[in-house]
Amino acid sequence: MLKQKKAKLVLGVTGSMGSGKSTVARMFKTRDCQIIDADRLAHKSFSTGSAVYKKIVASFGRGILKHDKRIDRAKLGKIVFADKAALARLNSIVHREVIAEIKRCIKDSKKKIIILDAALIIESGLRRMVDKLVVVTARRQQQILRSQKRLALSKNEIARRIKYQISQNAKLRLADFIIDNSGQISKTRKQVSEIRRALARFARKGSSG
């Protein structure tokens, strides 16, 4: 776990593809919270000319670039999600940079609660950086339908990407809190409220310990 002042709580929010974890993470946001979006940081790291960009191009070749020299994420995705070794190679390049940026954001934050929204908290070793872990779940069919709305991928491609992540059951075994995001949004909000109250008790206990 990342060493922090006792007044600062780091809450990890994760879930398999299409679970709705980012929607849930935003539900936790209050004026005392800061959200760190790991996926957004990863996208930023792909910026043309960055260290990560250069390593990716060197590893995968210039065939993954668009005409304007930006990385074609769709083309790169098709490559790495068809080859576990290629995916591991990409992750080894990107995760190091993103984790370093997450650490910096947590250290510099003035907020009492940091919400880390990251799909790969467990896979990338970020679990030790959070005080409490929320795992968001959904039925497999919902995961696929939600992902189809967001991404121009077939059902088979989405199912393959979900398979490459740690299973939902494995994530649940490491969770401090579980949110079932299969039902109505009002039910999800109720679960978030219950966890927020539990976190408030945890924060009070920590500040008095």
In a domain, 75, yes or no: yes
Q: Is residue 36 part of a domain?
A: yes
Is 2 within a domain?
Answer: no
Number of domains in the chain: 1
Domain harbouring 90, CATH code: 3.40.50.300
Instruction: Determine the structural domain holding residue 198 and report its residue range.
Output: 9-208
User: Bridge partners of 180?
Assistant: 137
pLDDT in tens, the chain (209 residues): 444 445 689 999 999 999 999 999 999 988 888 999 999 999 999 999 999 999 999 999 999 999 999 999 999 999 999 999 999 999 999 999 999 999 999 999 999 889 999 998 998 888 999 999 999 999 999 999 999 888 888 888 898 888 888 888 999 999 999 999 999 999 999 999 999 888 877 666 655 55
Whether 13 maps to a domain, the answer reads yes
Instruction: State the pLDDT at residue 7.
Output: 65
159 and 17 Cβ atoms separated by less than 8 Å: no
* Entry pTM: 0.88
Asked, for residue 133, whether it belongs to a domain, the answer is yes
Distances in whole angstroms, Cα of residue 31 to Cα of each of 20, 91, 124: 22, 33, 28
Q: Would you state the pLDDT for residue 174?
A: 94
pLDDT at position 152 is 80
The reply to whether 156 falls in a domain is yes
Q: Is residue 4 part of a domain?
A: no
SS (H, E, C) the chain: CCCCCCCCEEEEEEECCCCCHHHHHHHCCCCCEEEEEHHHHHHHHCCCCCHHHHHHHHHHCHHHECCCCCECHHHHHHHHCCCHHHHHHHHHHHHHHHHHHHHHHHHHCCCCEEEEECCCCCCCCHHHHCCEEEEEECCHHHHHHHHHHHCCCCHHHHHHHHHHCCCHHHHHCCCCEEEECCCCHHHHHHHHHHHHHHHHHHHHHHHHC
Does residue 101 sit within a domain? Answer: yes
**Residues 16, 18: Cα–Cα separation, whole Å:** 6
Angstrom distance (rounded) from CA 8 to CA 6: 5
Q: Which is it for the CA torsion 64, 68, 73, 75, positive or negative?
A: negative
